[in-house]
């Protein structure tokens, strides 16, 4: 045997033993890891449970203390004592027997009463039957029978009453014997129940199981297990401010409108909803997971997934503001972005630019617009002097001019004209849109050019023609046509070119110089290469009308090879583009390789990734970069379920085949001229910068409209500049007034009507609603002076004075009411007081729930507030 097993002299038992121990240890580790290591949510749920337990316990203790303090405890003790006494007394010999006997008598009485009632009802039935026959036949025997039955009925009635009389004393005696035990028991029950309920809450919390909790959303293939750790996210009360236990911020807006069981978490927040093992994995901050979690305001980017109209969307204020940047910089000019089709050119028309500006200025501007004006919207293309000249050469040659400059710096201005121009400038409130020397201007909504150096840029002839009729040079411009006389325009131009000059301007071509053909060719190539035609209308680069046969094939644009319909990459799905498809170029190692970093870096330094990129630099501030990136991040290639979609009003109208509103008749001409919709919204068209005029006809008095148009003044002094509902008074509000367009001095083209008449007429014909009554209902029984007195009293009682001003007294949040009797129609005030938010959902005015009468009184009072014309 030994010879057969000589191998065993070298025993391997130790190795096997060691390996077994390692295997055992590994197995133990596997079990531990699966129970605890990979299940951190167990720990969080336990912690949340104990925090919630503490909170409930504290509430319970507080309730107990309150119970003791308010005498509830004493009352309970008293009641219990009383109950014990009664029970003791009840147990005495003889008492119980008496109780049983009394109860038996009471039952007996009830039976008798019920029988009596039955007999009574039967007899009544017979009586009615007999009465019916009697009225039909008039036979006397029926009459006799009726009398007999009536006697019977009276007898039953009496018997019933007698029985009922017996019931009272019986019940009283029973009550005396039991000492009112039933009532005492009920009260004790009620007192205890309130406390028991709270105790039960604690017990229920303690019983709740530790388990994976998830929202399973079938049609988006999501299983969001975020709530496994974020246990308090849906709670309406804050259990702990510590993460992950907090409740959802603004939960009543976000979760209230998006039931988590139907939307889940990651649909808005991204991140890796299925992950449960570590915080990094769950929040998606791991390699190869391309959707890190969106936090804070950044989450609002997801509103864009479903909501077509986010302008007045509660909770989407940040992203709604940020989308303005797309409009401001006109990203859609070079990139295809869904929802921004057909937005019009962001830059001015350049067809005849050679007749407008100085050549030297054009070259300087092309090289670096931001250097000329820091508020310039045109980006920097990094053109060399030579390239900029070529482009200017092309543009000037297409306008039929040569290289030429006009220099007004050395000219002596006509002082009288300048003074007149200065007055006109402030009267017409040009500064409302145009910035000069860092003052005025509205760069959020209108983007009118800065005019601080206009005298060194444009020539007098052009300025004159421009102010006279802006639509002629640039159809579709936002600049309104002010009704100035030629003399007034001359004065304004004189003022502009003498006051607003550029000290650093060069005028190298005061003597015009011919343009070389080679330079024109080079300029054209550059324009095509960089796609200037995306933002500007340029001669020779127009969109070509394509044949219908091509249009059906989807071809809408046809030019030389270099020209594309949109020169930039399509941005429809940039927010969900796979990171592999983003070209990080030479920055691969310097910035973190995720989509958001890419987008931000692209906006910061568009050509930094590698050579040969063409996107210009917009010189965005870091704030703008973040804001714009948050919008771009929201353009996702999504398969959003239809049930999530909230199309905008316009989309709904289009789907329903409702034609969009169009201004008609002479009013359309006035709108095209004065551009009311630059600031006002009328029937859904226009900006939200000034009051909505859709119902102005029902609201405003004709005489007031006329006088306001003649001399516009501030109506809402503070609110005008404040963010909706933000009510932050930190930023100093500017006094913004409507410009004075000099309406009423000229006739509308081809007609005899003054433009004010046209406006007033349109207001009264079109901008009205039947929902607003023309007049206030009349209250006949109260005298008018008394009504006005009551209205005044209401005005004082409800504290209207806190926001509204009458005379010099009152707050400045609401409109000044000193002249409201001349301004508003009584029917509007009456309707408005019923529900101030009906026609303007975001108004700050509270709904006081006035009765109709109160509203009539208030209206009648307000209508007395009139300023006499000065």
Partner 1 sequence: MTGSCSGNGVTGKCQEIKTEIHMSELYDKVKKNLIWKSIFRRDYKDNVRNRALAIFGNVFLHLHPVKVRESAVKLRFTWGMGGITFLSFIILTITGIVLMFYYHPTTDLAFLDMKDFEYQVPYGVITRNLHRWAAHFMVIVVMIHMFRVFMTGSYKAPRQFNWGIGVILLVLTFLLSFTGYLLPWDQLGFWAITVGTNMGAATPLLGFQGPFSEYLHITPYNDIRFALLGGAQVGGNALLRSYIWHCIAIPLIATILMVVHFWRVRKDGGISRPQNN
Contact positions vs partner 1 (CB under 8 A)? 4, 7, 30, 33-34, 38, 212, 221, 223, 225, 274-277
Least distance from partner 1 to the Cβ atom of residue 21, Å = 19
Calculate ∠ Cα 393-396-400, nearest 5°: 130
Give whichever of 640 and 778 is closer to partner 1, judged by the CB atom: 640
Q: How far is the CB of 691 from partner 1 (least distance, A)?
A: 52
| Smallest distance from partner 1 to CB 638, Å | 16
8 Å CB contact between 357 and 438: no
Q: How far is the CB of 216 from partner 1 (least distance, A)?
A: 11
User: CA-to-CA distance for 17 and 737, rounded, in angstroms?
Assistant: 92
Smallest separation (angstroms) from partner 1 to the CB of 282: 9
Provide the β-strand partners of residue 343. none
Contact 229, 218 (CB under 8 A): no
Nearer to partner 1, 580 or 750 (CB): 580
Measured from the CB atom, is 276 or 390 closer to partner 1?
A: 276
Nearer to partner 1, 49 or 225 (CB): 225
Q: Which is nearer to partner 1, 130 or 272 (CB)?
A: 272
Q: Please name which of 481, 532, 39, 550 lies closest in space to residue 276, comparing C-alpha atoms.
A: 39
Nearer to partner 1, 277 or 864 (CB): 277
Q: How far is the CB of 26 from partner 1 (least distance, A)?
A: 10
Distance of alpha carbon 737 from its chain centroid, rounded?
26
Smaller CB distance to partner 1: residue 102 or 275?
275
With H, G, I as helix, E, B as strand and everything else as coil, classify residue 216.
Answer: strand
Smallest distance, partner 1 to C-beta of residue 42, A: 13
| CB within 8 Å of 788: residues ≥ 6 apart | 857, 860, 861, 864
> Which of residues 17 and 30 has its CB atom nearest to partner 1 in the complex?
30
Kind of pairing between the strands at 809-810 and 805-806: antiparallel
Residue among 225 and 230 whose Cβ is closer to partner 1: 225
Q: How far is the CB of 655 from partner 1 (least distance, A)?
A: 30
Question: Phi/psi zone of residue 560: left (φ > 0), alpha (ψ -120 to 50 degrees), beta?
Answer: beta
Show the DSSP H helices in 719-869 as ranges: 755-765, 784-797, 820-823, 826-834, 852-862
Question: What's the min distance (Å) between Cβ of 633 and partner 1?
Answer: 22
Find all residues with CB under 8 Å of 618, minimum gap 6, and list them. 329, 377, 379, 380, 603, 606
Provide long-range contacts, Cβ within 8 A and 24+ apart, for 372-379. 372/453, 373/450, 373/452, 373/453, 375/435, 375/441, 375/443, 375/450, 376/450, 377/328, 377/329, 377/330, 377/346, 377/447, 377/618, 378/347, 378/535, 379/329, 379/616, 379/617, 379/618, 379/619
Q: How far is the CB of 659 from partner 1 (least distance, A)?
A: 42
Helices and strands in the chain, H and E counts: 32, 6
Residue 223 or residue 710: which is nearer to partner 1 going by CB?
Answer: 223
Min CB(285)–partner 1 separation in Å? 16
Nearest Cα to Cα of residue 88 among 178, 4, 164, 202: 178
- Residue 275 Cβ, how far from partner 1 at the closest point, in Å? 5
CB of 210 to partner 1, least distance (A): 14
Q: How many residues does the chain have?
A: 870
Tell me the three state secondary structure of residue 646.
strand
Q: Are 239 and 51 in contact (CB under 8 A)?
A: yes
Decide whether 53 or 281 has the Cβ nearer to partner 1: 281
Which residue lies nearer to partner 1 by CB, 228 or 323? 228
**Closest separation in Å from C-beta 281 to partner 1:** 8
Q: How far is the CB of 231 from partner 1 (least distance, A)?
A: 18
Question: Comparing C-alpha atoms, which of 552, 15, 574, 540 is closest to residue 304?
Answer: 574
When computed from its CA atoms, the radius of gyration of the chain, rounded to whole angstroms, is 42
Count of Cβ atoms closer than 10 Å to residue 157 Cβ: 12
Neighbour count for residue 19 (Cβ, 10 Å)? 11
Minimum gap (Å) between residue 30 Cβ and partner 1: 5
Q: How far is CA 562 from CA 544, 545, 599, in A?
A: 15, 18, 25
Neighbours of 142 (CB within 10 A): 18
What is the C-alpha to C-alpha distance for residues 669 and 675, in angstroms, rounded to an integer?
A: 10
Q: Could you tell me which of 337, 325, 324, 323 has the C-alpha nearest to residue 566?
A: 337
Nearest to partner 1 of 579, 729 (CB atom): 579
Nearer to partner 1, 4 or 97 (CB): 4
Task: In whole angstroms, give the CA distance from residue 534 to residue 347.
Answer: 9
- Select 7 or 384, whichever has its Cβ closest to partner 1: 7
Show the beta-strand stretches assigned E in 83-185: none
Q: Nearer Cβ to partner 1, position 592 or 639?
A: 639
Residue 594 burial (CB count, 10 A): 17
Nearer to partner 1, 7 or 592 (CB): 7
CB of 403 to partner 1, least distance (A): 57
Contacts with 172 (C-beta within 8 Å, 6 or more apart), sequence order: none
């Amino acid at each position: 045997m030994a010879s057969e097993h000589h191998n065993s002299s070298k025993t391997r038992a130790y190795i096997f033993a060691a390996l077994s121990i390692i295997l055992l240890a590994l197995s133990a580790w596997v079990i531990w890891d699966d129970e605890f290591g990979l299940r951190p949510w167990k720990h969080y749920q336990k912690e949340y449970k104990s925090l919630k337990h503490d909170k409930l316990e504290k509430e319970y203790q507080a309730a107990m203390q309150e119970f003791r303090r308010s005498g509830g405890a004493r009352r309970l003790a008293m009641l219990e004592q009383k109950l014990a006494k009664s029970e003791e007394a009840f147990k005495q010999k003889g008492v119980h027997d008496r109780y049983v006997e009394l109860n038996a008598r009471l039952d007996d009485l009830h039976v008798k009463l019920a029988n009596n009632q039955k007999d009574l009802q039967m007899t009544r039935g017979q009586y009615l039957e007999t009465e019916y026959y009697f009225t039909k036949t008039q036979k006397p025997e029926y009459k006799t029978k009726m009398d007999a039955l009536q006697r019977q009925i009276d007898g039953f009635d009496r018997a019933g009453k007698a029985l009922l009389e017996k019931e009272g004393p019986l019940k009283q005696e029973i009550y005396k014997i039991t000492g009112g035990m039933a009532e005492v028991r009920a009260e004790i029950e009620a007192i205890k129940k309130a406390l028991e309920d709270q105790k039960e809450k604690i017990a229920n919390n303690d019983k709740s199981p530790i388990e994976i909790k998830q929202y399973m959303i079938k049609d988006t293939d999501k299983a969001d297990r975020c709530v496994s750790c974020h246990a308090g996210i849906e709670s309406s009360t804050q259990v702990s401010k510590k993460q992950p236990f907090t409740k959802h911020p603004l939960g009543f807006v976000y979760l209230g409108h998006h039931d988590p069981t139907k939307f889940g978490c990651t649909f808005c927040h991204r991140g890796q909803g299925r992950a449960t093992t570590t915080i990094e994995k769950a929040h998606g901050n791991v390699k190869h997971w391309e959707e890190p979690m969106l936090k804070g305001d950044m989450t609002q980017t997801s509103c864009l997934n479903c909501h077509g109209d986010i302008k007045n969307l509660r909770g989407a204020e940040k992203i709604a503001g940020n989308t303005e940047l797309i409009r401001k910089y006109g990203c859609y000019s070079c990139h295809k972005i869904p929802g921004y089709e057909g937005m019009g050119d962001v830059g001015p028309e350049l067809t005849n630019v050679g007749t407008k500006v100085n050549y030297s200025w054009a070259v300087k501007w092309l090289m670096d617009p931001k250097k000329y004006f820091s508020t310039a919207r045109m980006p920097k293309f990094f053109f060399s002097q030579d390239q900029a000249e070529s482009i200017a050469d092309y543009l000037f040659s297409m306008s039929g001019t040569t290289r030429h400059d006009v220099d007004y710096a050395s000219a002596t201005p006509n002082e009288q004209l300048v003074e007149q121009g200065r007055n006109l400038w402030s009267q017409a409130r040009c500064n409302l849109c145009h910035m000069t020397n860092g003052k005025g201007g509205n760069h959020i909504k209108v983007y009118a050019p800065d005019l601080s150096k206009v005298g060194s840029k444009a020539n007098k002839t052009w300025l004159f023609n421009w102010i006279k009729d802006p639509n002629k040079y640039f159809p579709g411009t936002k600049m309104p046509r002010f009704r100035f006389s030629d003399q007034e325009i001359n004065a304004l131009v004189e003022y502009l070119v003498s006051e607003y000059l550029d000290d650093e301007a060069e005028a190298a071509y005061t003597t015009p110089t011919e343009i070389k053909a080679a330079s024109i060719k080079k300029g054209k190539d550059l324009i095509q290469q960089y796609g200037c035609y995306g933002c500007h209308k340029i001669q020779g680069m127009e969109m070509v009308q394509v044949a219908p046969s091509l249009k059906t094939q989807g071809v809408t644009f046809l030019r030389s090879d270099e020209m594309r319909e949109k020169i930039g990459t399509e941005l429809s799905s940039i927010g969900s583009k796979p990171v592999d498809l983003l070209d990080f170029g030479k920055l691969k190692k310097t910035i973190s390789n995720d989509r958001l970093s890419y987008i931000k870096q692209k906006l910061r330094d568009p050509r930094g990734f590698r050579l040969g990129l063409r996107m210009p630099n917009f010189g965005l501030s870091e704030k703008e970069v973040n804001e714009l990136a948050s919008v771009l991040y929201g353009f996702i290639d999504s398969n959003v379920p239809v049930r999530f979609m909230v199309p905008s009003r316009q989309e709904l109208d289009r789907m329903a085949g409702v034609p969009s509103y169009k201004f008609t008749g002479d009013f359309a001409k006035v709108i095209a001229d004065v551009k009311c919709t630059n600031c006002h919204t009328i029937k859904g068209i226009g900006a939200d910068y000034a009051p909505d005029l859709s119902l102005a006809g029902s609201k405003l008095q004709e005489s007031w409209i006329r006088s306001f148009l003649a001399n516009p003044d501030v109506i809402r002094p503070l609110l005008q500049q404040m963010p909706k509902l933000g009510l932050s008074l930190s930023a100093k509000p500017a006094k913004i007034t409507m410009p004075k367009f000099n309406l009423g001095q000229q006739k509308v083209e081809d007609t005899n009507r003054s433009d004010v008449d046209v406006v007033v007429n349109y207001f009264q014909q079109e901008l009205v609603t039947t929902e607003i009554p023309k007049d206030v209902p009349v209250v006949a029984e109260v005298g008018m002076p008394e009504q006005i007195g009551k209205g005044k009293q209401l005005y004082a009682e409800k504290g209207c004075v806190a926001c509204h001003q009458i005379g010099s007294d009152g707050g400045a949040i609401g409109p000044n009411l000193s002249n409201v009797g001349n301004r508003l129609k009584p029917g509007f005030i009456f309707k408005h007081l019923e529900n101030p938010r009906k026609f303007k959902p975001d108004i700050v005015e509270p709904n006081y729930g006035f009765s109709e009468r109160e509203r009539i009184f208030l209206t009648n009072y307000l209508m007395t507030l009139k300023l006499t014309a000065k």
